[in-house]
């Protein structure tokens, strides 16, 4: 192919730009789980789930205590890893 020849592929690459691949792509792409689960997983990976500590920071709620254990604030770390 000559250098000045138009290519749809090259134009697409230019328009799309370059982004780094994310390591969690394999968890969400081609996942056979329910769409709501995959969406919740995506939100969790992005740390966008509405945990009580986030809602408290925004002033939406005042009680940020974990609903499950009632001992510590409900944070991302506490809910999924503690």
Positions touching Zn ion (CB under 5 A) are: 66, 68-69
User: With contact defined as beta carbons under 8 Å apart, do 73 and 51 qualify?
Assistant: no
Q: What are the b/e assignments for 5-32, b being 16+ CB within 10 Å?
A: eeeeeeeeeeeeeeeeeeeeeeeeeeee
Q: CB-wise, 1 or 68, nearer to Zn ion?
A: 68
- Considering the complex, what minimum distance in angstroms separates the CB of residue 71 from Zn ion? 6
Q: CB-wise, 8 or 68, nearer to Zn ion?
A: 68
- Considering the complex, what minimum distance in angstroms separates the CB of residue 6 from Zn ion? 59
Output the residue with the shortest Cβ distance to Zn ion.
66
């Amino acid at each position: 192919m000559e250098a000045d020849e138009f290519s749809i592929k090259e134009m697409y690459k230019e328009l799309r730009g370059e982004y780094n691949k994310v390591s969690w792509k394999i968890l969400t792409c081609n996942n056979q789980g329910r769409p709501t689960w995959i969406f919740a997983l995506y939100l969790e990976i992005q740390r966008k789930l509405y945990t009580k500590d986030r809602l408290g920071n925004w002033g939406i709620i005042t009680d940020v205590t974990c609903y499950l254990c009632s001992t510590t604030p409900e944070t991302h770390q506490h809910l999924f890893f503690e």
